[in-house]
Structure 1
Amino acid sequence: MTAPVRRAGVFAALCTLSLAVPLFGPEVAGALAAALLLGAFVVTDGPLFDLLAYPGDYEDGRLYGLLTFVLAGVALGLLAVGTAMSTAIFVGTVFLVGYGNLGEQAVRLRTDDDVAHVIGFSVAATAAGVVGQSGTLAVDASVAAVESALPRVVFLAASGALLAALLRTVLLLYDDPVVMLSVGLLLWLLAELEPALGAVEIVAALAVTVALGYVSYALETASVAGMLTGVLLGLLTIVLGGYGWFVVLISFFGIGGLATKFRYERKRDLGVAEDNDGARGSGNVLGNAAVALAAVLGYAASSATLLPADPDPHLFLFAFTGSVATAMSDTLSSEIGSVFETPRLITTLEPVEPGTDGGVTWQGELAGLAGATVVAGISFWLFPEVDTVGAAIVVAAGFVGMTVDSLLGATLEGRLLGNQSVNFLATLSGAVVAALLVVSFAAFG
């Protein structure tokens, strides 16, 4: 057994001490945390130090990895005690991070494959999250309470595992405290939304999103981080919105991914091809889908009457479709229009080099309009709320959002904004336009 596995095993065992909160109360748990913090300061060398130390701890001669890990657990525990955040989510989160890391390190002993590492972490983290939450519910309530809450427990554990796996691909190994706090806050939010799907639906949603995520990675349209981001977004969309919302979202990922591969060698010759052979990373996925996810969360919160103004949930549906239509329009416009050598700057219509931010072609504009129409057609087919006028609103929102993307590219990108920020603002404009048009037609129609 190697040092990373032994260290992960010890950290997982320490995570089990979080059960002291439901078993003995916060006072005993606080005393245990204080003892661990004191030990992190006192132990500066020797076998125990070697067992617990991350490589960077040797330079400072202090167990800062253990110290920050325990402090993150304490902060999360204080939130659980001081607010409506349940103890079950606290324990489940701590279990999830600790045992997920152990699962990943165990897989690393056998293979260097990055996907296998992610799977090892995610499976172990999900199982540990379920055990931690269920054990806490059994202590605080009863076995019957565990059975009734099991679908939600599985959903929370899987969502937390995916977020943790994603963060670990973009952060350092020593950033587990950040991962723990981020996962805990996400699960807190999701628990407040009270998803109502049963166990079978949750498992089906997981199977669908994981399968499609792996396909995107196998086809090299997404990196490992991009795959994890897409799977997490897909799972949240299915559970909080429904399969119709998911179909709209996956249409963008599928068609957009294929468009990235369209005449890729030609784009490479022109110097406008996406990096990493066109595989989309987490930043690209979030830049295009963060607004859509916010709309899904808003829809769920509105349906659960958690928002103070009590808005119409259908506004969030149109914001969602407007943002996805923008993402689709912009992707098709840039990926198809970039293979033509006569782009013009959208602000002056002067000819510019291919790949210039804000450069457009008439072929790309038509492709973008077609992309928005595809999203509108799918929405018209799936949602009764999206009638003929609603479909036209989605097309208009997508086209406006695509135009905003080009305008920002010509004026601010490279100076004040990066590509992902431009994508985010463009999809936000598409969502806002769709919602405003719906409100306007409702008021004057």
Structure 2
Amino acid sequence: MTTAVRRAVAFALVGCLALVGPWVLGVQEPAVATVAAIGPFLLVAALALTAGPENTLFELFARPADRRNGSLYGLAVFSLAAAALATLTVGFGMPTSVYVGTILLLVFGNLGGQVVRAYKYEQVRATAGFVFAGFLAASAGQFLAVQLTTESVSAPLAAFLAASGSLFAALLQQLLYQRDDALVMVAVAMMLWLFSTLPLEISVTRITVALAVTIILGYTSYTLETASLPGMLTGVLLGLLTIVLGDYAWFAMLIAFFGIGGLSSKFRFDRKLDRGIAQENEGARGTGNVLANSLVALVAVLAGAVSTEYDVSQAVFFYAFAGAVGAALADTLSSEIGGLYDNPRLVTTLEVVEPGTDGAVTWQGELIGLLGAALVASIGWFAFDEVATLGAGVIVFAGVIGMTVDSFLGATLEGRFLGNQGVNFLATVAAAIVGAGLAGMLNLPL
């Protein structure tokens, strides 16, 4: 057993202390349960801060940074973060299933990742090991919490929380340092707490399809190298949330952007390199690029999931979502395909400029961008009878507006006040506003 695996096993055993609070709560008064939930983690934190390099505890739990500092700060911070989550559970209403599931997700996910890494050191495989082990541990943790308390969580909802939490944790681990596990744990718990409050009715079929699709999407992105590892995790997480919180048709629109947009980045890549317009990382899109183009769509999905609770038509958020995705695909195709043609013109003055100039467009790029927006609209038109011709036209119009806003911002603000990702984000915001506004004005149904 390697040092890293042994350390992960030790952390997993500490994480199991999360079960003490729910177990005591089932047989004792709430005050006693509060002490039982928080106390063990505070005790571990105290022991960690007092353990010196010569201590057996130090040798078992020390990470490389701890060895350099001569103190078990990693274990102490982890335990204090777990105690904070216990406090939120006993004092502020965080579901016990979320609390237990999150802690077990992280510690056993790390163990799974370390086991895979010890067998074959490859980051993608290790991340897959983390997600798989984290999913199983989070599912088991929620089940145990339900058995020990009076809470209830349906199996499909538990699977959704476990899957989304595992993917989100894996993504954060790619973006943060390893010693930031406490931050990852708290962030995942907050997200799952939010999801647990949504009025979701998840069927077994829906979550089964969602999990199967996320696996296929992740594997395809990996084999085609259309996204970096963080970008792949971001796309897979967004896909899962869209299927569960939105609908299959919403996901079909999103996957059209991911699939076609990713392949367009690879299209004639050598020529793009020669012209200086190729995407970084050999065309593989990272988290920033994925989020810049998809964050608005995700917000629309979340808002649509709770729209009925606030007596707001879901159609408004559907057209915001479709408009944003249509703009993202239109802009991607316009730049990736249109940039291959000569004599691009600056959108503000129409003067001929060098290929790759921010805000430069070609008529071929504008045409392929229009077709991209029309593709997203056609998916909505086929999937929903209520969308009809007028609704499809709204989606196309919103997508083209977003693409045009992207070009104008590129010509005027990019490089001085905004980066490329900021421009992409604002373009999708504009498209979502146009789509939602027209849907409200025209009283479009869904």
Query: Per the shorter chain, which TM-score range?
Result: over 0.9
SS at match of 2:442: helix
Shift of 1:392: 0.8
- Distance in 1, matches of 2:414 and 2:207, equals 40
Task: Pick one of 119, 123, 132 that aligns with 2:141.
Answer: 132
Task: Give the letter aligned to residue 404 of structure 1.
Answer: V
Determine if the alignment matches structure 1 residue 246 to structure 2 residue 255.
no
Determine if the alignment matches structure 1 residue 300 to structure 2 residue 300.
no
Shift of 1:384: 2.5
CA contact 1:325–1:375 (8 Å) conserved in 2: yes
Q: Which moves more between the two structures, 158-167 or 190-199?
A: 190-199
- Distance in 1, matches of 2:436 and 2:205, equals 34
Aligned to 1:264: 269
Task: Pick one of 170, 179, 184 that aligns with 1:165.
Answer: 170
- Distance in 2, matches of 1:201 and 1:435, equals 27
- Distance in 2, matches of 1:93 and 1:266, equals 47
Aligned to 1:111: 120
Aligned to 2:284: 279
- Distance in 1, matches of 2:263 and 2:418, equals 26
- Distance in 2, matches of 1:320 and 1:350, equals 34
Identify unmatched segments of 5+ residues in structure 1.
none
Q: CA RMSD in A?
A: 1.5
Shift of 1:105: 0.3
Determine if the alignment matches structure 1 residue 405 to structure 2 residue 406.
yes
SS at match of 1:92: helix
Aligned to 1:27: 35
Task: Give the letter aligned to residue 347 of structure 2.
Answer: I
Aligned to 2:352: 351
- Structure 1 length normalisation: TM-score? 0.95
Task: Give the letter aligned to residue 231 of structure 2.
Answer: G
Q: Deviations over 1:359-387 (max 9, x none)?
A: 11111111111111111111111122312
Task: Give the letter aligned to residue 362 of structure 1.
Answer: W
Aligned to 1:99: 108
- Distance in 1, matches of 2:278 and 2:147, equals 54
Q: Deviations over 1:87-134 (max 9, x none)?
A: 110110000001000000011111122221111101100000011111
- Aligned ranges 1:9-408 → 2 under 5 Å: 9-24=9-24, 25-46=33-54, 47-141=56-150, 145=152, 149-303=154-308, 305=309, 307=310, 310-408=311-409
CA contact 2:333–2:368 (8 Å) conserved in 1: yes
Identify unmatched segments of 5+ residues in structure 2.
25-32
CA contact 2:42–2:79 (8 Å) conserved in 1: no
CA contact 1:314–1:385 (8 Å) conserved in 2: no
- Structure 2 length normalisation: TM-score? 0.94
Residues 136, 60 of structure 1: CA spacing in aligned structure 2 closer, same or farther, 3 A cutoff? same
- Distance in 2, matches of 1:134 and 1:418, equals 45
Q: Deviations over 1:273-309 (max 9, x none)?
A: 1112211111111111111111110011113x1x4xx
Poorly superposed stretches of 4+, deviation over 4 Å? none
Residues 375, 200 of structure 1: CA spacing in aligned structure 2 closer, same or farther, 3 A cutoff? closer
Shift of 1:222: 1.4
Aligned length: 435
Shift of 1:82: 2.9
CA contact 2:37–2:86 (8 Å) conserved in 1: no
CA contact 2:276–2:356 (8 Å) conserved in 1: yes
- Distance in 2, matches of 1:118 and 1:348, equals 48
- Distance in 1, matches of 2:301 and 2:443, equals 22
- Distance in 2, matches of 1:349 and 1:72, equals 56
- Distance in 1, matches of 2:77 and 2:352, equals 54
CA contact 2:22–2:37 (8 Å) conserved in 1: no
CA contact 2:326–2:398 (8 Å) conserved in 1: yes
Shift of 1:410: 1.4
- Distance in 1, matches of 2:116 and 2:214, equals 23
Task: Give the letter aligned to residue 441 of structure 1.
Answer: L
CA contact 2:38–2:87 (8 Å) conserved in 1: no
Task: Give the letter aligned to residue 144 of structure 2.
Answer: G
Q: Deviations over 1:178-233 (max 9, x none)?
A: 11111111111111114322234312211112102211221111122121111111
Shift of 1:79: 2.1
Q: Deviations over 1:249-269 (max 9, x none)?
A: 111111111211221111011
- Distance in 2, matches of 1:202 and 1:439, equals 31
